[in-house]
Structure 1
């Protein structure tokens, strides 16, 4: 996509008229010094300079929802600011596609090239995460930076973007269809480090030995970043207090790990579901950056709304659908996009499924109050992962899940789950630990609750025959819940 095509796409998604788009294109695309003069534009379109100024004023207003700082800028600085922001966004999508080389000289591990390339096709935003990681590096001599977020929040795309932009880093991506043992991780990392630093006699070295050799290597620039995505997929068995992947407790200066995982520590006074095995010695910091923190939700939400108007073929189809709804239902583009983002619950994976169902005409109106076929297929994988029907203790799981989604969740405090379920505390804890990736912890009126992390998934669960409330066991559970809720 060239610069002109990008500006045309941005004009469309910001609701500019044809005349406004033409004026913006002429301003930004007709001169090597970023913009041409208003008089030249007026002469070309046979209009007055005040008309050019009026059109550009409307352009700035159109872009204010994406770049709110435009509303505070005065004078000629508005154009410079708009140009700067658009150029930054354009640079994120206009980088050349990485073509794997025939030899081992590719900057990325061969098994991850497709993953890295595919996740960069429509990557959008998340600058606040990259800035946080760079801040971590600038203020620490070494350490672990752990990006935490629920499944589908875009963690893999985010680190794939970082690897794409920084081909000097070492990387490993855990996927369900790829090897997920610690020894397989070490073999891949070792191979990359040996190739990168020309290490001799290192084919059997463990990770601490490799890192020690590298920091004493003449090719070491003073910084080594190792990206490891999706620690939740690691199959390490019972670690017995050892770090996940046997990551070193002490790192050499200049060595940083950029890790991603789902929330893994829902420890309370009643249940300890901790799976976060990453302990370090003093001097090797561990910093968790949680995408689910309220302070990041607004930034994440803005990225989602920007992503909804991302200039590619699929989004052009989506824009056509949105324009159709705007015309037929007298509703603004911003309202429609807000509804789509809200239905997606800050989850990029859900958003993509929802977009697909919109393009397949599942929704005839911009009212997203039904669970779509694509989202249902996605949540079916969650359902199977929770082993609701196949586990040897499936009834225990069904009862606990029924409690968690009762009246859309968060009705029963954590310390009452075993009482309501009629199960031993340790048995409830075992199930909850298996379901960590699907749980969210909330606090209301001084009490802690677990609920399922997506309301869309709760809707899917409640639609399953297994979870029908007229089952005798659930009628008993209903009575216990009602008695608890009526108690003082």
Structure 2
């Protein structure tokens, strides 16, 4: 493994900063982890390598000599991370006490200089760039990979926690503390870099920390990014667009369930950009809510001189948003706003002749919107540069397929799935290929299928009987739940269609009132359908909503409605008659 020694040194840094373990234990652990030849750890380091090179290139466009040298690094590709293998660090294993962070930086630099002649002969400005930008930047982005890539984080932390279990009372609590200590330790390391040329100060400030995700969407982002893997080809395309264009709209299109929301949530985690998520199940789909939320984020993030809360006039159209974008753009080189699920926007909440969400036709220099939507037409006419990125294009088939395989491979490590494969007489490789083809590149399908296998719901089915594609999965599950048997389960049907029509989380008691059923009966129905529901606590009340819009789409298909013997008009009228005050208050007009 070409980057083994680099991994050893950097993991030693994270262990000492994050775990408070003595230097010798840190180094032994790091050697063991590097020796495992773990693909996810290696890929995380290479991802960090690519990201810091992109940042340096973007920051140094007026320095041809540095660009030429950086291009040489990029041509070498992984070679820049090839360090002399098999050597122990100079000095004793425990010699990093006190100044170990600075020592690691020095050791990395010494090994790179020993390996690469061009670096030994480089002019001072390039050495400054490499020592004070590349190395701390690499560590910074590797930190983000550890913090937000659950697979990498678990791989790195669980065994060391086991090793020191005598000192740890609560593993879960300790994991959260470790995340914080990693931040503090790496920030100290980055802050120790001195002698940086003035032109790089702004980038160094950026490297010292990534802004927190928008508070309104923190829980949603955390939920969506659990077990997130891959999608580098999309992130690379976004970065390339922002480098190539002075401003603009990057529009990601994909079918339901492919993972657009998860992808954008991960992007927000990684970059700390401003963000808004249209969430139909929480009734967050109005243009007014978008404008209010994003304008407040702009004012707070960039210290703009406006009072909060906003006056209602500021959210009646997009004029105030455009004004704020101009003022904020003057304070930063790049301002990125991520907006998810344009197709879920309630267009009745805005002028019919305006762009969706009143998105500006023109953008200030350095302002970019990263948008996601289904492949359907929406009102968006702009003069700013735009790129539509079709994730379903044949061009990205292999990249999507590799991400799908990687996710299945990751889930196959769990014991319930291993037991199921053994019972089926199927190898892991056969299962990965079969399920990848059946998935039609749909992560929502994979989530449901793999969760069902883990919970024993497919104990009586063989591989050939697994549904193909998300819609077939919904149809099969609908039948398995007895929704088309005679007599029809009216209570179940009424409750599930009510949830799909309210577009707002509702409590079990409210559903019981509507269905005129005992709350215990309603609770049983909700538990039967838990995998399709989002369940959370709001003001000490448990509330439920449909998890994903693709399930609502299935429910509203004509053949599903007809088979269920349901009148959607009756459902809607019942909501108006019985629940309006409870759900929306008295402002029905």
TM-score scaled by length of structure 2 = 0.45
Gaps of 5+ in 1: 1-6, 8-27, 37-54, 68-72, 100-104, 265-274, 388-436, 439-452, 469-488
State the distance in 2 between where 1:29 and 1:309 align: 28
Shift in Å, 1:156: 0.4
Matching residue of 1:414: none
Matching residue of 1:226: 337
For the 8 Å contact 1:243–1:277, the answer to whether it is kept is: yes
For the 8 Å contact 1:339–1:368, the answer to whether it is kept is: no
State the distance in 1 between where 2:249 and 2:335 align: 12
Shift in Å, 1:154: 0.3
Matching residue of 1:280: 382
Shift in Å, 1:464: 7.9
Shift in Å, 1:185: 0.6
For the 8 Å contact 1:146–1:259, the answer to whether it is kept is: yes
State the distance in 1 between where 2:263 and 2:323 align: 28
Superposed CA deviations along residues 329-373 of structure 1, whole A, max 9, x for unmatched, are 2x3311111222222221111111111221233334332445657
Gaps of 5+ in 2: 1-6, 8-26, 47-77, 86-137, 154-174, 181-209, 484-492, 501-548, 566-589
Superposition pairs of residues 31-430 of structure 1, within 5 angstroms: 32=31, 92-93=149-150, 94=152, 107-167=212-272, 169-176=273-280, 177-201=282-306, 203-204=310-311, 205=314, 207-217=318-328, 220-237=331-348, 239-264=351-376, 275-281=377-383, 284-310=384-410, 316-321=414-419, 323-325=421-423, 329=425, 331-364=426-459, 365-370=462-467, 376=477
Matching residue of 1:394: none
State the distance in 2 between where 1:376 and 1:179 align: 28
State the distance in 1 between where 2:456 and 2:32 align: 44
Larger RCO, structures 1/2 (Cα 8 Å, 6+ apart): 1
For the 8 Å contact 1:350–1:375, the answer to whether it is kept is: no
Distance 1:223 1:286, change over 3 A: same
For the 8 Å contact 2:343–2:378, the answer to whether it is kept is: no
Distance 1:123 1:348, change over 3 A: same
For the 8 Å contact 1:343–1:368, the answer to whether it is kept is: no
For the 8 Å contact 2:341–2:374, the answer to whether it is kept is: yes
For the 8 Å contact 2:421–2:427, the answer to whether it is kept is: no
For the 8 Å contact 2:354–2:379, the answer to whether it is kept is: yes
Distance 1:318 1:152, change over 3 A: farther
Superposed CA deviations along residues 81-140 of structure 1, whole A, max 9, x for unmatched, are xxx9xx8986733468689xxxxx982332211011112221000000000000000000
State the distance in 1 between where 2:558 and 2:448 align: 18
State the distance in 2 between where 1:374 and 1:317 align: 28
| Equivalent residue pairs, number | 314
CA RMSD of aligned residues (A): 4.6
State the distance in 2 between where 1:130 and 1:186 align: 26
For the 8 Å contact 1:354–1:374, the answer to whether it is kept is: no
State the distance in 2 between where 1:346 and 1:212 align: 41
For the 8 Å contact 1:354–1:375, the answer to whether it is kept is: no
State the distance in 2 between where 1:218 and 1:144 align: 15
Matching residue of 2:101: none
